[in-house]
Amino acid sequence: MAFSSRRGTAWSASSSLPSSNPKSKAPRKGRKRALVKDFVLANFFTIGLALSLSLFLLILLRFGVPKPITTPFRTRSSRARKPLARRPLLLGAAGDNRSALVGTAVDVTTKALYDKIEFLDVDGGAWKQGWSVTYRGNEWDAEKLKVFVVPHSHNDPGWKLTVEEYYDRQSRHILETIVQTLTKDSRRKFIWEEMSYLERWWRDASDETKESFINLVKNGQLEIVGGGWVMNDEANSHYYAIIEQIAEGNMWLNDNIGFVPKNSWAIDPFGYSSTMAYLLRRMGFDNMLIQRTHYELKKELAWHKNLEYIWRQSWDAEETTDIFVHMMPFYSYDIPHTCGPEPAICCQFDFARMQGFVYEQCPWGQYPVETTQENVQERALKLLDQYRKKSTLYRTNTLLVPLGDDFRYINVEEAEAQFRNYQMLFDYINSNPSLNAEAKFGTLEDYFLTLREEAERINYSSPGEIGSGLVEGFPSLSGDFFTYADRQQDYWSGYYVSRPFFKAVDRVLEQTLRATEMMVALILGCCRRSQCEKFAMGFSYKLTAARRNLALFQHHDGVTGTAKDHVVMDYGMRMHTSLLDLQIFMSKAVEPLLGIRYEKLDHSPSQFEPAIVRSKYDAQPLHKVISIHDGSYQSVVFFNPLEQTREEVVMVVVDSPDVTVVDSNWSCVQGQILPELRYHNSKIFTGKHRLYWKVSVPAMGLETYYISNGFVECEKARPARLKIFPKSSLVACPTPYSCVKIEADVAEIENQHQKLTFDVKYGLLQKVVSKNSSPNIVNEEIGMYSSSGGAYLFKPNGDAQPIIEEGGQLLVSEGPLMQEVYSYPRTAWEKAPISHSTRVSSGESTVQGFVIEKEYHVELLGHDFNDRELIVRYKTDIDNKKIFYSDLNGFQMSRRETYDKIPLQGNYYPMPSLAFIQGSNGRRFSVHSRQSLGVASLKNGWLEIMLDRRLVRDDGRGLGQGVMDNRVMNVVFHLTMEANISATSNLVSTPFPYSPSLLSHRVGSHLNYPLHAFVSKKPQEMSVKPPPRSFSPLAAPLPCDLHIVNFKVPKPLKFLQQPPEGSRFALILHRQHWDSSYCQKGRSQCTNLADDSVNLFSMFKNLTVLKAKATSLNLLHEDLEIMGFSEQFGDLAQEGHVAISPMEIQAYKLELKPQQSTHY
C-alpha cells in the first residue's frame, strides 16, 4: 500500500503514558558457558585448524572429491535435518474411515490462540497494543545483541496509481537509487521483492547498470526476497495463481540475474494463509517473514516469545512442510513501528522525515535530526534502547529491524540521509564494547543465517516444547491468520468481497490460461511439424503476457478489490486483453489437435470461435447465438481441461428451436430447449433459445458435436414445459413452449437424485429431499447489511435484514435434461438488486446429477444501495454448533468457529472456492463457488455468503475512496447435500479441519475448470459430413483424486533453442485428500484412485515420455532436500512413478516426443 497510511500513524500518536508490565528476557548463559567461551577464544586457531582438517578428511572419505561450484552466488547453506520418511498420512489402513488426516503435533495452533485470547483491546501505553517493555540490562552479557537493519522499499504494483504510473513516477527511480548508493559503500544493504517492477526496469536499464545490479546481488549487498511477480494476496488468490505468479517471477530472476530466492518477505498482505507456507517450502524457500496478523495474536505470541516459529501444515505428522517464520511484532512495517515498541522514538530515526524531504512529519511532535559527533552518543543510546526492548520479545539475541516504507529511497538524497545517519549510529554502538551490541545493515539472508547459527550454539527451547528438527529452539505452529484486525473492532473482512466482478474475471482468466497451457504443451508434444511449432511459439509473447497479467492481479491490492477505480480498470483491461488472446489461440489450436489442418495456422483466420465472449473488460460474458438455416449444421467442439472423462449436460444459445443434436459419428443425441431469459420483472424472454444436451469429452481431450436444422433421421430438441407463477402474471408464453399459469404455495423441480421445494410467494428454496433419505431444510434468505465500512473493512450496523417481499415472478421449466426455477423477486425497490435461477440436471451417475446450481444475478447499482452489503443465507436444520469449514486458496480446508467475544465482522472468513457445515449426525451442506467471496456461520445451521458491497466512504486505510464502481454480475454456486455413512467425531473437540468428500472435490473441479466450447464460424451443408473428430491424449483417465494443476511448456520462446533431450515440459500434480465416509457418490464414473500406481511413462497415448525428473514448484530446484522431500521420491520420479501422499503437490520436468503411430 502506499505511503503514509494504511498505517494510521496518527492513531498511534494518541498513545497514553506507558504502564508497567514486567516482561523481560531471562539471562541466556550461565558461568560455565562463559568459561567454555574463554577457553575456545584462547585456543581458537588451534581448535579451528584441527576441526577443519578432520571435517575435510571426513568429506573426502564420504563423498570423494567435490565437483567445482559453478554458480556465481553464495550457495544455500547446508543444515542438518532429521531424516524424514514419506508415507500417506491417513487414519487407518486402506478402506478404513479416512475422514481426517492425521493431525500434526504442534506447540501452538491459531485455534487455541483464539480460544485463549479475551480480545479486550487493553491499552498498553507507548506500545498501544502491547505493554510497557522493560529489560534488566544483563541479557546480552554472554551473547551480545546482533542487530540487522534491513533497508527496503515497498512497491505496490498498483494501488492509488496503476503499475505503469508507479513505475514511471517512483519505482524506476528507486531502483536507480539503490544501484548508485549501494555501490558507494559495501557496508550498505538492501532487499527488493517485486519482479514486476524489476523486469520493467530491466528493459530500460543500461548494460552498465545491469552489471552493477548483478554484482550487488552477487556480493550479498542486495537480496531479492520472495521474487514473485508481486507480493500476492493470501485470502482471495487461488493456489494455481500463487504458484504461477511466484514461478513467473523466480524464473525471470534466475534467467536474467542468475539468482534464486530462499527468503520470503510478505509485509503487506492482510492476513496469512498456511497454504502459502506450504507452497514456499515446496519451492525451496527456507524462511518467511510476515507482518499483518491480528494485533491480539501478536501480543499473545510476543508475551511467550513465540513470534518466531516453525509453521507446519495441520496434516503433516512428518515435519516435511516445516518452514521458519519471523512475525513482526508491531502495528505496521513503517519505520515508526519497526525499531522498537515506542513509535514516537522510532519516528525520530526515520531520517527521510527530516525537513526538506517530501514525507509527512512525525505525528508525535518529536522529529528526526541529523546525527553529528555532538549528538551521536545520545541518539545511539536512545535507538539501542528500542532495539533492546524489541529484542526481549524474541528468543535469540539476533534482531531484525526493517528500515523502509512504501515507495521509499526514491532519490539519492533520501537514501544518503538514511545510510549516512545510521552508519554513524552503528559506528558508535560498535565501537563501545560495553554496550554488548553490534549493529549493521543487513539483508534477510544475513539475519536468518546469523539467527540459525546462534540457535545451533544455544538451546532456546522451552521445557516440553515439540519444536522442529528443521531449526531447534523454536515452537511449532499450525493454522492460518484470518481474519486480520489492525486496531479496535476494525476487521479486514470486507476485502474478501470488494469488486466481486473482477474476482470472478480472475478465475476465468486462470482456468482459460490453464487450458491454453495444456493446448500449447499438447501441440508442441504431439505435433512436431514445423507449422505447429511455429504456431505455438508465435503465441509465446501473448502467453507470457497472460501469465504476467494473471500474476499481476494476485497483488494484494488487485484481487482484493482495494485499489482506486482507474487502477481496477487497468487490471481489468489487462485481464480482458489476455482472455481474448487466449481464446483466439484456443480456437485455432482446435484445428491441429483434431487433425483438421496444420498449414498457415499462425497467420490465417480460425475456423472456430469461442461460444462465450466478452465485449469489454467489465461486461458480462455472452453466449454467441448460433444461427443455422435449413439443411445445414454447425460444429461445436468441446475441450475438457480435466484429467477424467467428463459427462455432463451442456448449453449453447440458438436462434431457432428447430434443431437436432448429433455426435461426431452422426448418431442422434437427445436435446432440450428452454427459452433464453433476461433479468426483468415482466419482459423475461429474449426470443432466443437455450439448447441443452449431454456430452462425453475425453480427459484433456476434444470432442465434436453437430447442431443441425433439417436432419430428419433424428428427433428435434424437446421444448421444456413452462409453469408461470402467479396466475395473474403478465408474462406471455413464448413459441413453441407449452405454458400453464397456476396458483400454488410451493413449486418443485427434481432429477434422479433429489427433489427441490420452493416457496412460491418469495421465490426462495425451502427444502432439499435426497432420494431414499429424509428431507433437508435449506431455507434460502437474501438480505442486506447496512454498513459503514470501506474497501478493506466490513463494519455492519446490526444484522442483515431480509429484502425479499411477497409477490415476485416465478418461472419453472421442466424437461428431460434440465429443470429450472427462475425468480425475479419483489423488493422495496422497483428494480430488484438480485434475481436468481436454481437448476438441476439429469445424470444417473454423473457429478452434475448430484449438484444444485444456484445462479444469482446481482445489480447493486445506484444510490439506493449506498452503504449496503448483499448476502445470501442458507438456514439449514444441521446442528453445526456455529462451526464451519472454509477453504484456503482452493487447496485445503480450515476449521472456523464463530466466537461471541469478537464482533460479527471478525467471524467472516475468506471463501475462495468452498465452505461447508456438518452436523454431529454427519449430514453435510456444501457451497462451491467459482470466485472468492466472504463466508460466515453466525447462528446454528446457517451458512452465509456475501455477494457484493457498495460503500460510499473511505475506511481510513489510505485508499482515499469507497467502493462505488459495482458491475452487473452473475455469481454461481454449486450446492451439495451429503450424508455420512460412518460415525463422526465431536465437532467442538476436533481442532483439525475435515476434508471435502471425493464428490465435493469433483464438483469444485467441474465448476472451476469448465468445458471450453468452440463453434464453427460458418455453417456447413448437410451433404458434406466430415469424418469423426476427437482428440484423446491420455492412455487412460487419471485417478479421480489426482489433479493436474498445470501441464505446460515453461519457456515456449526457447523451446527450439533447448536440446530435445532437455526437459522442456512441466507437469504439476496435486493429490487431493478426501473424506471417505462420503465415498459412494464421489466414486461415480471413477475408474481408479491414486492409491493405484500411476506412471508418467505410460500416461499419454500418442506421446512418449523420455525422461521424468522431480523438481520444485517454481521449477528451479532439483535438490529434493531443499523442498522437504526424500531422495527416494526423486528415484521414483526418474522411474516415472507418481508417489504422492494425500494433500501434496509435486512438480515434474518431462521430455516428450510423439510416438510413430500418431496420426500426425
> Three-state secondary structure along 929-992?
ECCCEEEECCCCCEEEEEEEEEECCCCCCCCCCCECCCCCEEEEEEEEEECCCCCCCCCCCCCC
Which of the two residues, 305 and 12, has the higher pLDDT score?
305
- In whole angstroms, give the CA distance from residue 109 to residue 312: 10
Distances (CA, A) of 41 to 44, 45, 396, 436, 455: 5, 8, 21, 17, 19
Share of the chain above pLDDT 90, in %: 80
With vertex at residue 494, the alpha carbon angle to CA 488 and CA 499, rounded to the nearest 5 degrees, is 155
In the prediction, which pLDDT does 99 show?
Answer: 53
Nearest to 507 by CA among 247, 241, 228: 241
In the prediction, which pLDDT does 949 show?
Answer: 98
Q: Helix or strand or coil: residue 25?
A: coil
Share of the chain above pLDDT 70, in %: 90
Strands (E), 425-489: 437-441, 476-478, 485-487
Q: Does residue 83 surpass a pLDDT of 50?
A: no
Nearest to 196 by CA among 234, 143, 235, 159: 159
In the prediction, which pLDDT does 983 show?
Answer: 61
With vertex at residue 783, the alpha carbon angle to CA 778 and CA 787, rounded to the nearest 5 degrees, is 140
What are the grid coordinates assigned to 161, written together? 496509481
- In whole angstroms, give the CA distance from residue 294 to residue 703: 51
In the prediction, which pLDDT does 513 show?
Answer: 98
Window from 38-42, 159-163, 1023-1027, 1035-1039 with minimum mean pLDDT: 38-42
Q: What residue spans of 259-352 are helical by DSSP H?
A: 274-282, 295-303, 343-346
Per-residue model confidence as pLDDT tens digits over 831-867: 999 999 999 999 888 999 999 999 999 999 999 999 9
Mean pLDDT along residues 3-24:
39
What are the grid coordinates assigned to 1030, written together? 476427437
Cβ neighbours, 10 Å, residue 281:
27
Window from 592-601, 702-711, 1142-1151 with minimum mean pLDDT: 592-601
How many Cα atoms within 13 Å fall on the side-chain side of residue 1028?
Answer: 8
Q: Does residue 50 surpass a pLDDT of 80?
A: no
In the prediction, which pLDDT does 424 show?
Answer: 98
In the prediction, which pLDDT does 14 show?
Answer: 39
Q: Does residue 71 surpass a pLDDT of 90?
A: no
Q: Helix or strand or coil: residue 690?
A: strand
- In whole angstroms, give the CA distance from residue 577 to residue 542: 10
Report residue 70's pLDDT band, with 50, 70 and 90 as the boundaries: very low
Look over the chain and give the mean of its residue pLDDT values, rounded to a whole number: 90
In the prediction, which pLDDT does 1083 show?
Answer: 65
Backbone phi and psi for residue 33, each to the nearest 5 degrees, phi listed first: -65, -35
- In whole angstroms, give the CA distance from residue 934 to residue 941: 17
Per-residue model confidence as pLDDT tens digits over 329-341: 999 999 999 999 9
- In whole angstroms, give the CA distance from residue 720 to residue 743: 20
Mean pLDDT along residues 802-808:
96
Which of the two residues, 529 and 454, has the higher pLDDT score?
454
In the prediction, which pLDDT does 1130 show?
Answer: 80
Cβ contact 149:442 at 8 Å:
yes
Cβ contact 405:362 at 8 Å:
no
What are the grid coordinates assigned to 1, written together? 500500500
Mean pLDDT along residues 76-87:
40
- In whole angstroms, give the CA distance from residue 626 to residue 915: 37
Q: Which amino acid is at 804?
A: I
Which of the two residues, 1070 and 983, has the higher pLDDT score?
1070
- In whole angstroms, give the CA distance from residue 294 to residue 903: 14
Report residue 1053's pLDDT band, with 50, 70 and 90 as the boundaries: confident
DSSP state of 466: -
Q: Does residue 805 surpass a pLDDT of 90?
A: yes
Q: Does residue 17 surpass a pLDDT of 70?
A: no
Q: Does residue 577 surpass a pLDDT of 60?
A: yes
Per-residue model confidence as pLDDT tens digits over 227-282: 999 999 999 999 999 999 999 999 999 999 999 999 999 999 999 999 999 999 99
Burial, 621: exposed, middle or buried (Cβ in 10 Å; 0-12, 13-18, 19+)? middle
DSSP state of 555: B
Residues contacting residue 55 through CB under 8 Å, at least 6 positions apart? none
Residues contacting residue 746 through CB under 8 Å, at least 6 positions apart? 757, 758, 759, 760, 766
Backbone phi and psi for residue 324, each to the nearest 5 degrees, phi listed first: -80, 135
Per-residue model confidence as pLDDT tens digits over 453-467: 999 999 999 999 999
Q: Does residue 79 surpass a pLDDT of 50?
A: no
Distances (CA, A) of 657 to 634, 768, 953, 1110: 14, 32, 50, 53
Residues taking part in catalysis = 268
Mean pLDDT along residues 307-327:
96
Q: Does residue 7 surpass a pLDDT of 50?
A: no
Mean pLDDT along residues 558-567:
98
Q: Does residue 140 surpass a pLDDT of 70?
A: yes
Mean pLDDT along residues 413-431:
98
